[in-house]
Chain A
Amino acid sequence: MTKLEITQEITNKTGAPKKLAEGAIEEILNAIKDSLSRGESVNLKRFGKFDVRKKRARMGRNPKTGEAAKISARRVVMFKSGKYIRGVVNTD
């Protein structure tokens, strides 16, 4: 599913004009990106929580060449899905 298909769905379900739905999706994603880039987590009830975690530097391996390589310390985005969505993906 892509942004385009989500736009269509939102338009169908809420009656919002396509342009508005499109703009809303962009602004939702921008606001989440903004928050995470400041190191602030985003907690969306039912859906899940986006968190920024600090990772220490560690030794890794280039999977292609097998050479050892240092992986620098970094910050990564973690997503912890909400209970509701975890339940929903397990029912057929």
Chain B
Amino acid sequence: MTKAELVDKVSQKIDLNRKETEVIVNSFFDCITQALSDGKKVELRGFGGFRVKKRKPRTGRNPKSGEKVTVPEKNVPFFKAGKELRNLVNKS
């Protein structure tokens, strides 16, 4: 499913035209993005949660030259599926 298809589905369900639905859908994902960039957690009951995980700095290697390089500490977005979603996906 792509975002366009998602907008279509939501649009039908809430009985709102595509344009306006798209604004709301975008706003929803922007909200989550903003929260994560502020370092906040997002909890969506029945679905799952988003948070930011810290990755420690490490020494990596340039796969081409074999040279050692230091990879600095960084933050990565992380999603954990909730119980309901986990069961739903695993059922069929």
Q: Which residues of A contact B (CB under 8 A)?
A: 1-3, 6, 9-10, 13-14, 16, 20-21, 23-25, 27-33, 35-48, 50, 52, 74-77, 79, 81, 84-86, 88-91
Contact = CB atoms under 8 A, between A and B. Distances in A.
B52 to A, nearest CB: 5
Interface residues of B, number: 49
B75 A89 contact: yes
B28 A1 contact: no
Contacts of A35: 1
B25 A24 contact: yes
A38 B89 CA distance: 7
Interface string B22-37: 0111011101110111
B69 interface: no
Question: Closest 6 A-B residue pairs measured CB to CB?
Answer: A79-B79, A81-B77, A77-B81, A27-B13, A35-B1, A88-B37
Contact of B43 (A1, A24, A29): A1
A40 B89 CA distance: 10
A18 to B, nearest CB: 12
A3 B28 contact: no
A59 to B, nearest CB: 19
Given A33-B88, A43-B3, A44-B6, A90 B27 contact: no
A28 B28 contact: yes
